[in-house]
Amino acid sequence: MDLHRWDADNEALVRDVVDHVLARLDDQPPITPAPTAEELDAAVGPTITPEGLGADGALRVYTDHLRPASIPCDDPRYLAFVASAPSIAANAFDFVVSTSSQCGSHWMDGAGMVHAENQALRWLADLAGLPSSAGGCFVTGGTMGNLSALVTARDAANRARADRGLDRPTRWAVVSSSSTHASVDSAARVMDVDVLHAELDDELRLTGPAVVDAIAARPDGTEVFAVVATAGTTNVGVVDALASVADACDDAGGIWMHVDGAYGGAGLAAPSVRHRYDGVERCDSLVVDPHKWLFSPFDCAALVYRDPEPARLAHTQHAGYLDPLTDHPVFNPCDHAHVLTRRARGVPFWFSLAVHGTDAYRDAIEHTLAVARAGRDMVVAADHLDLLVEPELSVVAFTRRGWGVDDYQAWCDQLLADGVAVMTPTTFDGEPAMRFCIVNPRTTVDDLAVILATLA
Ligand SMILES: *Cc1c(COP(=O)(O)O)cnc(C)c1O
């Protein structure tokens, strides 16, 4: 077979692949536990060979062995972690983006793709109440979004100090809390900056006064360049007290406020919970993962800056071969995150939004919230279960009376072995617990009832 020539063999290959895609979209594969590496190795055998397996051979390895060894995150009963539920339109357009060979880095050769992505980013910026200056780019995930935003924040803080004739501090630090996502600690390690943990209030929220205390307690020589507030904590779905955190950032002389809405940012589109985000409009940067609760395929995270200029200053790569691209007053997505070559990964999200309209997104998110509230009611009604936190978004966290960590793990293992659901235990306040995280509009109240019934 030829690598590039459009001939009968390649056409047949593409038709077989498309047939597979159609069959997959028409059918939810069963939930099955992962095989061991040895089992998979024995079943698959060598695949990278000098002569190649041919189209049929390679596709058969995928359909017979590789696909069944992985659990699709769009299963309505995939309720562990934060799953994903791409719309059919977004999934379909991912294929178009893949085959377009259009790079999403620079305006020069990606203007159409970038324009579409910017419209999708604008929708998110409008939901957050950010000014018309706002902009940014789509990155691989919340982890890369948080890192890129914090790199921008530190660069801006260094510039501000230099403008005032000050040297860099001995140590830079970011303020977060015990419920901040692990990726913020990870970003701090990459950046070699410190993390100062502020206390949570009784409602498990980061608040302005706690930020003030954390800043005041910083070691000598340490300065704070950013505060990370979370709009929907991963474990229990709490939205931090954003307006109060914004006040603290202002009072401390304009410290960068980053809002991590990787999971919960989608709730900005849901009128029933929108008030929880009051104050988000004052952030300097915001991350929302469409691959979590906004029905996009992996990997798609939106990074939006109130003002993209400090990001451009922090992230633009300079070289003789790049300057022709960057020396123009055009908007290059790759200048705003830690990336150069980039897939136009926001375009499937844009396409689905353009197809369905934002009302459909609002309704789908509201539906997941309603299912979560029904799940909450079932937990509260069960004598053997205790609700841990009143759900603010679509996470329902609970415990089973008398159970220890091994009981939870055994229960989750059994659900997986029986193909009933994907659940994983978590810890809350140091104690083992369970959580449903509902981001899939196809998850029903009945799905939750079936799972809860196995706890009786
Ligand atoms: C999932 C999550 C992240 C990390 O996002 P990835 O897309 O997995 O990299 C960051 N913050 C929060 C609050 C999250 O829920």
Q: Is 319 exposed, middle or buried (0-12, 13-18, 19+ CB in 10 A)?
A: exposed
Enumerate domains of the chain plus CATH numbers. Answer: 96-356 (3.40.640.10), 358-453 (3.90.1150.10)
In this prediction, residue 325 carries a pLDDT of 82
DSSP string, 257-292: EEEEETTGGGGGG-TTTGGGGTTGGG-SEEEE-HHH
**Is the sign of the CA dihedral 426, 431, 434, 438 positive or negative?**
negative
pLDDT tens, position by position, 381-440: 999 999 999 999 999 999 999 999 999 999 999 999 999 999 999 999 999 999 999 999
pLDDT at 328 over 80: no
Mutating to test ligand 1, I would choose from 139, 178, 183 the residue with most ligand atoms within 8 A of its C-beta, which is 183
Distance of CA 66 to the CA centre of its chain: 25
Distances (CA, A) of 313 to 146, 162, 330, 432: 17, 14, 14, 44
Q: At 324, is the pLDDT very low, low, confident or very high (cuts 50, 70, 90)?
A: confident
Query: Each residue of 68-105: pLDDT tens digit?
Result: 999 999 999 999 999 999 999 999 999 999 999 999 99
Specify whether the CB–CB gap between 235 and 395 falls below 8 A: yes
Nearest-atom number in ligand 1 for the CA of 301 is: 7
Q: How far apart are CA 296 and CA 174, in angstroms?
A: 30
Give me the percent of the chain exceeding a pLDDT of 70: 100
Pick from 84, 180, 289 the residue to mutate for probing ligand 1's pocket: most ligand atoms within 8 Å of its CB.
Answer: 289
pLDDT of residue 329: 81
**Mean pLDDT across the chain, nearest whole number?**
97
pLDDT of residue 327: 73
Looking at the DSSP bridge assignments, the partners of residue 197 are 176
SS3 assignment, position 255: coil
For residues 177 and 374, give the distance between their C-alpha atoms in angstroms, rounded to a whole number. Answer: 29
What residue ranges line ligand 1, CB within 6 angstroms? 82, 141-143, 181, 183, 230, 234, 260, 262-263, 289, 301
The 3-class SS string of 18-53 reads HHHHHHHHHCCCCCCCCCCHHHHHHHHCCCCCCCCC
Average pLDDT over residues 158-163: 97
User: pTM to 2 decimals?
Assistant: 0.98
* 139-166 average pLDDT score: 98
Q: In whole angstroms, what is the distance from residue 357 CA to residue 1 CA? A: 43
pLDDT in the model for residue 59 = 98
Rounded to an integer, what distance in angstroms lies between the CA atom of residue 267 and that of residue 382?
Answer: 28
Mean pLDDT over 281-301 rounds to: 98
d(CA 420, CA 80): 13
% of the chain residues with pLDDT over 90:
98
Distance CA 240, CA 277 (A): 8
Averaged pLDDT for residues 349-362: 98
